[in-house]
């Protein structure tokens, strides 16, 4: 595991985007695992800039980590009224690059058969040859994707009930500013499992800000535990890059500024 600490969020985002761009250049038909949330937005902005400078996404395949259950993208709705992760990805990255529509995979939150969809999502990843690089954030309680505390470290794609901490954080980040009542936000989500994530050949995990400092220290230097699902990075056998800004890294006991 390589821990990279940058002075600012902007520098962190550029470093992460460069790692992804290197993967694409080395393997133009690579498979990327993508994350939502506020943290990767800067990375996506950098990838859009690199695309304008010639980075080609035409053969790239993507698989998103998760989606709210009961929510789906409707391009006829204004962004503020559509809090689906599909819409987020469309707005923040996918509509700005030359990726083919058939190469984009995001769990369908409007599915009538979630169990079947989850099994098929796993099969689609396998058919694509597995994920070459998985981009990850980390929740304030240490979760990856929607793998809430207590999730098995061998879990697969499934429906997960969201904890109060996740509901509170996501309401503040997305639903409150959109004027959507808290009781109307989804309480369940479709998520890749920890076992699924750990099969990626490379992981890039991002964290920014002082609010993430305590949980980053627990995930990277504390015990490996299902109560902090991101701690699974300690048992990951592939190439792991943890890219932090100085604030997120401030509680780590042994770090080197790079």
DSSP string, the chain: -EEEEESSHHHHHHHHHHHHHHHHHH-TT-EEEE--SSTTHHHHHHHHHHHHTT---TT-EEEESEEETT----TTS-GGG---HHHHHHHHTGGGS---GGGEE---TT-S-HHHHHHHHHHHHHHTT--SEEEE---TTS-BTTB-TT--TT--SEEEEPPHHHHHHHIIIIITTTT--GGGS-SEEEE--HHHHTTSSEEEEEE-SGGGHHHHHHHHHS--BTTBGGGGGGG--SEEEEEEETTTTTT-SS--B-
148 is catalytic: yes
From the list 132, 141, 160, 199, the catalytic residue is: 141
Pairwise pLDDT comparison (120 vs 168), residue with the higher score: 120
46 is catalytic: no
143 is catalytic: yes
From the list 67, 90, 132, 143, the catalytic residue is: 143
pLDDT single digits (tens) 174-214: 667 667 777 777 889 999 999 999 999 999 999 999 999 99
132 is catalytic: no
From the list 46, 66, 67, 245, the catalytic residue is: 66
The pLDDT, as a whole number, for residue 175 is 67
* Overall fold of domain 27-200: Rossmann fold (3.40.50)
- pTM value is 0.91
From the list 132, 148, 169, 245, the catalytic residue is: 148
């Amino acid at each position: 595991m390589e821990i990279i600490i940058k002075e600012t969020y902007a520098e962190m985002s550029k470093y992460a985007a460069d790692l992804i761009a290197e993967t694409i250049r080395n393997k133009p038909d690579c498979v990327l695992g993508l994350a939502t949330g506020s943290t990767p937005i800067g990375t996506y902005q950098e990838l859009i800039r690199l695309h304008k400078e010639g980075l080609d996404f035409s053969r790239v395949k993507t698989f998103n980590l998760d989606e709210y259950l009961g929510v789906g993208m409707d391009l006829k709705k204004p962004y503020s009224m559509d809090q689906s992760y599909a819409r987020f990805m469309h707005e923040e990255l996918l509509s700005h690059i030359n990726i083919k529509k058939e190469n984009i995979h995001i769990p369908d939150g409007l599915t009538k058969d979630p169990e079947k969809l989850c099994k098929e999502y796993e099969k689609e990843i396998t058919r694509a040859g597995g994920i070459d690089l998985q981009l990850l954030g980390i929740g304030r309680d240490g979760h990856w994707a929607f793998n809430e505390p207590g999730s098995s470290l061998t879990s697969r794609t499934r429906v997960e009930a969201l904890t109060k901490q996740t509901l509170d954080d996501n309401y503040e980040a997305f639903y409150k500013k959109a004027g959507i009542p808290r009781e109307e936000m989804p309480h369940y989500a479709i998520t890749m499992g920890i076992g699924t994530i750990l099969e990626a050949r490379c992981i890039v995990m991002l964290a920014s800000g002082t609010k993430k400092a305590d949980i980053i220290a627990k995930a990277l230097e504390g015990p490996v535990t299902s109560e902090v699902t991101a701690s699974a990075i300690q048992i990951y056998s592939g190439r792991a890059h943890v890219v932090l800004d100085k604030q997120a890294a401030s509680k780590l006991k042994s770090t080197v500024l790079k």
